[in-house]
Amino acid sequence: MATTFDLADVKRRMQGAINAFKNDLASLRTGRASPNLLDPIQVDAYGSPMPISQVATVNVPEPRLLSVQVWDRGMVGAVEKAIRESDLGLNPQTEGQIIRLRIPEMNEQRRKEMVKVAHKYAEEARIAIRHVRRDGLDLLKKLEKDSAISEDDGKRQAEQVQKATDQYVAEVDSLLETKEKEIMHV
């Protein structure tokens, strides 16, 4: 089987790194309530850990309030416990099957910690993108060595891989900058 180089596949993998980064950023707390804030929380439901989204509906009725509508009355305690034990620093208030979560104002130190976490996520995304670039360039070198493509084609495609890498890294930087402003906005 002849190995071929596919720039679209390289870009698809780089976009995957961007999507993972966006998910990481969405779970970071800013001063405002977001349903994605509870995504990392696992609830011990029916004997196995489940994401909160599989046992309840999360809504944002006000900018600083989350409302968690638990579907099964018997799960309310487990959901409340999972939220309380998470490192989000939220204090659940239960009314029947609805759990309300007030999002407290973030102090300056907490905001700076969030920015550091965002920077860590950004660096992980950049590293993932560079790994995809390396894989693409390695494949091009191998194809060139095996005379499957000409040296000029190899150089041209290597430039396209680098251009795609620069584009996706710039997107990571842009997303990070936006999130940083959102976190630091008082």
- pLDDT: which is higher, 26 or 133: 133
Following DSSP, what letter does each residue of 16-63 receive, concatenated? HHHHHHHHHHHTS--SS--GGGGTT-EEEETTEEEEGGGTEEEEEEET
User: Tokens 């993108």 label which residue?
Assistant: 129
pTM equals 0.69
Confidence tier at 163 by pLDDT (50, 70, 90)? very high
- What's the full length of the chain, in residues? 186
pLDDT, average across residues 171-176: 96
Q: In the predicted model, is pLDDT for residue 1 greater than 60?
A: no
Q: What is the pLDDT of residue 36?
A: 80
Q: What is the pLDDT of residue 128?
A: 96
Report the alpha-carbon distance of residue 144 to residue 158 in Å, rounded. Answer: 11
Name the average pLDDT for the chain. 88
Q: In the predicted model, is pLDDT for residue 168 greater than 60?
A: yes
Domain extents for the chain?
Answer: 7-26+107-184, 35-102
CATH architecture of the domain with residue range 35-102: 2-Layer Sandwich (3.30)
Tens-digit pLDDT profile for residues 23-81: 888 877 666 777 888 887 889 888 899 988 899 999 988 888 889 999 999 899 999 99
CATH class of 7-26+107-184: mainly alpha
Q: In the predicted model, is pLDDT for residue 13 greater than 80?
A: yes
Q: What is the pLDDT of residue 177?
A: 95
